[in-house]
Amino acid sequence: MQWIRSLLLTVFLFVGTFVFTVAVIVSGLFPMEYRHATARGWARTMLWACRTFCGLDYVVEGVENIPREGAHISFWKHSSTWETMTQMLVFPPQAWVLKHEIMWIPFLGWAVGRLKPIAINRGAGHRAVNQVVEQGIERLREGLWVLIFPEGTRVLPGQTRRYGISGALLASKSGAKLVPVAHNAGDFWPRRGLLKRRGTIRVIVGPPIEATGRDPREINAEAQDWIEGRMREISRLYR
């Protein structure tokens, strides 16, 4: 039965995402706040579908750690599709750092482009890092948070990769705080595969990391230690 529910959710996700991508594209005629409100509507709808079809819910811990003033940087563990939706409801409007190939996808890429992402070529090395820093400072000044998946791609639960330096460098140069986020969505919504398991995903927001004047490598190490430490506590698949 859970396989059938998962199939229904997948169909709903594709259809609903197409409808909302068109809505976001149209919202490009209006100020940025309306565009992000439309995108958050998509996230709420998809998470409602997760609960309705698959019994998959979530709880957020540590909301008090999200700074209420200014725009900052969120560092998310990336293990599934689920967190790409949920981050819109946990944090204020954010500019996402993402691979530029996403911008080439018809409709979806056009919609994402309306939300002022930072689209990088991950193979560009230092140029990509500089792009994140330069455009990230612009977004922060505009009042948008910056969302970064520091491992650069989805990682299986229980595994980790080297954290990219761009987010820590952006925090150091901009004076923005870096807010680490751990979650166990990968336990319920695998990176590959149809089945979505029933249960409650835990999202833990960590204390903001002060970055001004600090070595980016030190900032990165602190963020990774915190995130991976929480992952060992909440993920049953961590090894």
* Span 47-86, pLDDT tens digits: 999 999 999 999 999 999 999 999 999 999 999 999 999 9
- Asked, for residue 38, whether it belongs to a domain, the answer is no
> Confidence band (pLDDT; 50, 70, 90) for 175?
very high
- Asked, for residue 222, whether it belongs to a domain, the answer is yes
| pLDDT on residue 152 | 87
Beta bridge partners of 202: 59
Query: What average pLDDT does the structure give for the chain?
Result: 93
Q: Is the pLDDT of residue 191 over 90?
A: no
| pLDDT on residue 62 | 97
Q: Where are the alpha helices (DSSP H) in 28-175?
A: 32-54, 82-90, 108-113, 126-141, 166-174
- Asked, for residue 201, whether it belongs to a domain, the answer is yes
| pTM of model > 0.85 | yes
- Asked, for residue 187, whether it belongs to a domain, the answer is yes
> Whole-angstrom Cα distance, residue 187 to residue 82?
11
| pLDDT on residue 239 | 56
Which residues form the domain of 132?
56-234
Name the residue among 149, 134, 146 with its Cα closest to residue 99: 149
- Asked, for residue 41, whether it belongs to a domain, the answer is no
- Asked, for residue 39, whether it belongs to a domain, the answer is no
- Asked, for residue 45, whether it belongs to a domain, the answer is no
Name the residue among 212, 227, 204 with its Cα closest to residue 149: 227
**CATH code, domain carrying 167:** 3.40.1130.10
* Domain total in the chain: 1
- Asked, for residue 239, whether it belongs to a domain, the answer is no
pLDDT digits (tens, 9 = 90+) for 117-150: 999 887 767 888 899 999 999 999 999 999 999 9
| pLDDT on residue 190 | 86
